[in-house]
Amino acid sequence: MREKELEKIKEYKYGFSTDIETIKAPKGLNEEVIKFISKIKKEPKWLLDWRLKAYERLKILKEPNWQKPKYPKINYQDLYYYSAPKSFKEKPKNLDELDPKLLETYKKLGIPLQEQKRLNNIAVDAVFDSVSVATTFKEKLTEKGIIFCSISEAIQKHPDLVKKYLGSVIPITDHYFATLNSAVFTDGSFVYVPKNVRCPMELSTYFRINASDTGQFERTLIIADKGSYVSYLEGCTAPMRDENQLHAANVELVALDDAEIKYSTVQNWYPGDKDGKGGIYNFVTKRGLCKGKNSKISWTQVETGSAITWKYPSCILMGDNSIGEFYSIAITNNHQKADTGTKMTHLGKNTKSKIISKGISAGFADNTYRGLVDIGRNAINSRNYTQCDSLLIGNKCGAHTVPYIRNKNSLANVEHEATTSKISDEQLFYCNQRGLNQEEAVSLIVNGFCKEVLQQLPMEFAVEAQKLVGISLEGSVG
Amino acid sequence: MLNIQNLSAKVDKKSILNGLSLNIKPGEVHAIMGPNGSGKSTLANILSGKKGYDISGKINYENNDLFNLAIEERAHKGLFLAFQYPLEIPGVNTSNFLKTSLNAIRKSKGQKRT
């Protein structure tokens, strides 16, 4: 039975790599490399100075080591910090000029970029290693005044906005990986939604790591001006490789008065093989600033990939009456490790936050929820509700919950609930007796367990995520 | 259709069924009655494939050796156990559960999903 099931484990579907000629920065991390990146991206001087300042800071920073999953020391001098398809020396003006190999890659990933085959009502920005390949539906968005492009393009065309907001949520001095990202970030998305505009479609970025020995340093900046609304999706895949690869992203969100940002992630980086060899180190800093009153930022994440996931999408609730939400599913199987959660920093009056975290652990995996609810002195009448549920499959995996609560205001209301459960034999028997095989049963039970979070995802993603939940756990019950 | 021969079952060395034989033909309705602890549920559980019993004897169902079939394969062939205390699977509503079950059974018969 067990062998039969192991055989059935599907290979990681996105594990192929594209053979394409690339331009790379020289290996290693130093001032020259940073200047190289800045130059190739034709950046203004202020940005180069900004990068170099971050690099100076990096020199004195140490890697944090308080997290649960430990990893072997990364040799930062042995990495490429910039890798782009050669055909990108001059950025292709339209898709006809784009290397067919790239189009083919995205087609294989299920992200068609060609006009006639585009995903319905989702605008996509496709990032390949260190550059944005294409952005769809640009014209339609421009009509409404919405800016959706790669961050590199935004630096050229909308320098004022970038200068004003870049690093305003995650300062360059923040912590090791955030500072590293500030020094060497390459590409990512930029979104600006003007006043009182409701973005008519989902905006989405699809990140793909292709080159080996290359770190991906994504930088995304989303600004929702007063009274606006935007929903943004992020998806990720990478080829199967025996070495570990680093993805250190910084994502900053800024919501002004009455604005709302909904940010959803379906993270499916290569998780490594069943013995824990290879896979992506996903060390990500995501932070949203509810700057204006009545603003709202909602994070939803489905984390199924990566050898190590280490991220805490957070909200700083600065504006009065602002709302922060965090919905998370983290699935770890085989030897995957996840240490994820959120920080809700309540500064304004009547601020509210809600945390729903579902951790699922199977095989030899280790899953940690780590979170901080921080209620400031002036955050009167603020509220937080936290619910952390863990589900264990098998008896060799682990689940941990580390919630911190810091309350400096006696009028605040903080709730925390946590459960740990196992899939019981009774539940499996019940499902089997109704005709479901072992895998279908696990998938059904896990999807039920995650329902509150899956419901938060936009339709198009929810179906995909549900399937992914099933696939990630295949072979976990023997 | 269902033929049980000399079925014995033990749990933790405690004998529950002791040499039960029964032959059920298509179209027949049988009710099994008995006092508490006489093994009615054990029989139903063994028929549907629940684990945890030490079994000897033979059961033939529609020309299959029942013990060679997995729980879900028995379900596909029409063996249905009504649970005395059905479980709730958190987050899965009844209609979704029924649909998933129906589709699994349809799939086993090579029929299309509904």
pLDDT tens readout for residues A135-175: 777 778 888 999 998 899 999 999 999 999 999 999 999 99
Q: Any CB–CB contact under 8 A between B75 and chain A?
A: yes
| Residue A335 main-chain phi, psi, to 5 deg | -110, 20
Please compute the mean of the pLDDT values over residues A349-362 and round it to a whole number. 95
Q: Any CB–CB contact under 8 A between A434 and chain B?
A: yes
- The pLDDT value recorded for residue A118 is 53
* Contact assessment for residue A375 and residue A406, using Cβ atoms and an 8 Å cutoff: yes
The pLDDT confidence band at residue A119, using thresholds 50, 70 and 90, is: low
- The pLDDT value recorded for residue A202 is 84
- The pLDDT value recorded for residue A8 is 38
In order, the DSSP letters of A368-396 are EEEEEEEE-TT-TT-EEEEEEEEEE-SSS
Residues 13-72 of B with CB under 8 A from A: 48-51, 70-72
Yes or no, beta carbons of A448 and B100 under 8 Å apart: no
pLDDT tens, chain B, 114 aa long: 899 999 999 998 899 999 999 999 999 999 999 999 899 999 999 999 999 999 999 999 999 999 999 999 999 999 999 998 888 899 999 999 999 999 999 999 998 887
- The pLDDT value recorded for residue A467 is 81
Distance from CA of B44 to the nearest CA of A (A): 12
Yes or no, beta carbons of B104 and A447 under 8 Å apart: no
pLDDT tens readout for residues A395-429: 899 999 999 999 999 999 999 999 999 888 899 99
E-assigned strand segments in A8-86: 22-24, 83-85
In sequence order, the β-bridge partners of residue B56 are B8
Q: Any CB–CB contact under 8 A between A212 and chain B?
A: no
First to last CA, chain B: 29
pLDDT at A5 over 50: no
pLDDT tens readout for residues A33-52: 999 999 988 999 999 999 99
Collect all residues of chain A within an 8 Å Cβ-Cβ radius of residue B104. 434-437, 440
Q: What is the pTM of this model?
A: 0.86
Residues contacting residue A308 through CB under 8 Å, at least 6 positions apart: A69, A71, A279, A281, A282, A283, A336, A337, A338, A339
In order, the DSSP letters of A262-331 are EEEEEE------TTS-SEEEEEEEEEEEE-STT-EEEEEEEE---SEEEE--EEEE-STT-EEEEEEEEE
* Contact assessment for residue A409 and residue A381, using Cβ atoms and an 8 Å cutoff: no
pLDDT at A388 over 80: yes
Nearest to A469, CA basis, from B106, B41, B92: B92
Query: Residue A103: helix, strand or coil by DSSP?
Result: helix
pLDDT tens readout for residues A203-253: 888 887 777 778 889 999 999 999 999 999 888 777 777 788 888 999 999
Amino acid identity for residue A183 in this structure: A
Residues contacting residue A343 through CB under 8 Å, at least 6 positions apart: A312, A314, A315, A371, A372, A373, A374
